[in-house]
Amino acid sequence: MCVFCGIARGEKPAHVVLERDCCLAFLDVRPLFEGHCLLIPKDHYETLADVPDSLVTPLFSAARLLATAMERVLGAEGSFVAINNKVSQSVPHLHVHVVPRRRKDGLRGFFWPRTKYEDEHAMAEVAARLRDGVAGLAAADS
């Protein structure tokens, strides 16, 4: 059984920090920093692409609330909000990492090595391909 489904159903232990009808947030057992939370939809969706529109707003408003609360009660100076989809995703139940940040906290390594575009033309070409992809998906949705 999916470990995060087990947590959502209350069948597996977790330090829950927020609960809504559709989603639940709990502490990551191996945090980047204390207070690192995982926010999940209670229903099983594997990646962001699988999440229905009706869930996007409540899920991200919960992420916003968590990020704000971290600054208020944990003394965080900011936060990092991220989702691994398929690649680097070790639990195949969508989860939003909401991580408290402080300046000079050493999290630079989380961003992995950066690359460079060969030139402006290469950059424009990738942007055009993505615009086409977005337009195609938006048209299919409407």
Contact 17, 4 (CB under 8 A): no
Contact 59, 96 (CB under 8 A): yes
Contact 39, 60 (CB under 8 A): no
Query: Cβ of residue 80: shortest distance to ligand AMP, in angstroms?
Result: 12
Spatial separation of the C-alpha atoms in residues 24 and 59, rounded to whole Å = 9
Give the pair of three-digit tokens for residue 117. 């575009």
Maximum pairwise Cα distance, the chain: 53
Contact 111, 58 (CB under 8 A): no
Catalytic residue, from 15, 36, 44, 95: name it. 95
Binding window for ligand AMP (CB under 6 A); candidates: 22-30, 67-75, 115-123, 125-133: 22-30
Q: Is 88 in the site for ligand AMP (CB under 6 A)?
A: yes
Per-residue x/- marks for ligand AMP, 90-129, CB under 6 A? xx--------------------------------------
| 44 included as an active-site residue | no
Contact 20, 62 (CB under 8 A): yes
Query: Cβ of residue 3: shortest distance to ligand AMP, in angstroms?
Result: 5
Q: Helix H segments across the chain?
A: 3-8, 53-73, 120-141
Query: Cβ of residue 108: shortest distance to ligand AMP, in angstroms?
Result: 18
Cβ-based nearer residue to ligand AMP, 110 or 117: 110
User: Of these, 9, 10, 29, 136, which contacts ligand AMP (CB under 6 A)?
Assistant: 29
Binding site for ligand AMP (CB under 6 A): 3, 14, 28-30, 38, 84, 88-91
